[in-house]
């Protein structure tokens, strides 16, 4: 029996749209009726996750639960969140919803383990970096994690917040970002984990020619499969 996918969105809106598009493109379909039923709640009232983790900002869990309840009431059978940092609150969310929630970061770690990669460059928000959530998942699978230095991390955060979240992609300093990525490759990074859902948009917009693991794509394919539809590898 086919399942309905519910997206807890708004973290941010462009990342939500990117996930929805990747679900459609990941489905092996020949007509409209072959695609999964997807319900999107673009809840922009969800407080900033990094601010909550690092600065004692407003707890995002109540709004995450609100979205989960909205999607459940609308008929969703499974939930997904296009926000890496929000997965720090994954257990709290799961305790307050009866629906299964796919874990994007675990799916990404499993994917990287299957590829046989030895070292990855992690690009993510300060919140995701500071929690160590990716490092814990990857180190347990024998994968070394390389992070940007302090100036490089500021460049990544600027691309995320001043670029994509602000709707100002032209503000991204592509040359500086390339310097950061090249330095991480020199340290042994074999590919880059796009550990913030704004980063696939950055890489596409800036035409950055680096090997990547895209958690948004990985989550999209997992959601299509979980919902009972054939996956078309892109």
pLDDT in tens, the chain (234 residues): 899 999 999 999 999 999 999 999 999 999 999 999 999 999 999 999 999 999 999 999 999 999 999 999 999 999 999 999 999 999 999 999 999 999 999 999 999 999 999 999 999 999 999 999 999 999 999 999 999 999 999 999 999 999 999 999 999 999 999 999 999 999 999 999 999 999 999 999 999 999 999 999 999 999 999 999 999 976
Q: Of the candidates 173, 167, 161, 182, which has an alpha carbon nearest to the alpha carbon of residue 206?
A: 173
Domain that holds residue 194: 105-215
> Do 95 and 15 share a structural domain?
yes
Residue 111: inside a domain: yes
Q: Residue 195 and residue 215: Cα distance in Å, rounded?
A: 7
Q: Residue 47 and residue 62: Cα distance in Å, rounded?
A: 10
The reported pLDDT for the residue numbered 49 is 98
> Do 86 and 67 share a structural domain?
yes
Dihedral of CA 45/46/47/50: which sign?
Answer: negative
Residue 231: inside a domain: no
Structure token digits, residue 227: 């919902």
114: left (phi over 0), alpha (psi -120 to 50) or beta: alpha
The DSSP output letter for 48 is P
Residue 196 appears among annotated catalytic residues: yes
> Do 125 and 89 share a structural domain?
no
Quick check: 185 and 213 in contact, CB under 8 A?
no
> Do 98 and 187 share a structural domain?
no
Q: Of the candidates 163, 168, 214, 209, which has an alpha carbon nearest to the alpha carbon of residue 193?
A: 214
Residue 234: inside a domain: no
> Do 119 and 77 share a structural domain?
no
> Do 200 and 121 share a structural domain?
yes
> Do 52 and 146 share a structural domain?
no
> Do 151 and 85 share a structural domain?
no
Residue 145: inside a domain: yes
The reported pLDDT for the residue numbered 234 is 64
The reported pLDDT for the residue numbered 165 is 96
How many distinct structural domains can be found in the chain?
2
> Do 193 and 111 share a structural domain?
yes
Quick check: 119 and 150 in contact, CB under 8 A?
no
Domain with residue 195: its CATH number is 3.40.50.1860
The catalytic position among 83, 179, 191, 206 is 83
Residue 233: inside a domain: no
> Do 130 and 80 share a structural domain?
no
Residue 232: inside a domain: no
> Do 93 and 17 share a structural domain?
yes
Residue 40: inside a domain: yes
> Do 48 and 99 share a structural domain?
yes
The model's pTM is 0.97
Residue 66: inside a domain: yes
């Amino acid at each position: 029996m086919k399942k309905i996918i519910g997206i807890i969105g708004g973290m941010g809106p462009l990342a939500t749209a990117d996930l929805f598009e990747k679900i459609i493109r990941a489905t092996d379909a020949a007509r409209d009726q072959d695609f999964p039923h997807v319900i999107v709640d673009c809840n922009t009232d969800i407080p900033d996750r990094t601010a909550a983790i690092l600065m004692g900002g407003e707890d995002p869990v109540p709004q995450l639960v609100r979205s989960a309840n909205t999607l459940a009431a609308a008929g969703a059978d499974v939930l997904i969140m296009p926000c890496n940092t929000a997965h720090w609150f994954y257990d709290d969310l799961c305790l307050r919803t009866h629906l299964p929630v796919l874990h994007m970061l675990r799916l990404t770690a499993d994917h990287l383990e299957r590829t046989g990669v030895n070292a990855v460059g992690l690009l993510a928000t300060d919140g995701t970096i500071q929690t160590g959530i990716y490092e814990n998942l990857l180190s347990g699978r024998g994968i070394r994690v390389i992070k940007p230095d302090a100036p490089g991390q500021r460049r990544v955060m600027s691309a995320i917040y001043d670029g994509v979240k602000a709707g100002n992609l032209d503000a991204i300093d592509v040359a500086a970002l390339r310097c950061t990525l090249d330095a991480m490759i020199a340290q042994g990074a074999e590919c880059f984990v796009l550990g913030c859902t704004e980063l696939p948009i950055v890489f596409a917009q800036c035409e950055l020619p680096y090997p990547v693991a895209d958690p948004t794509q990985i989550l999209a394919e997992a959601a299509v499969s979980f919902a009972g539809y054939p996956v078309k590898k892109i």
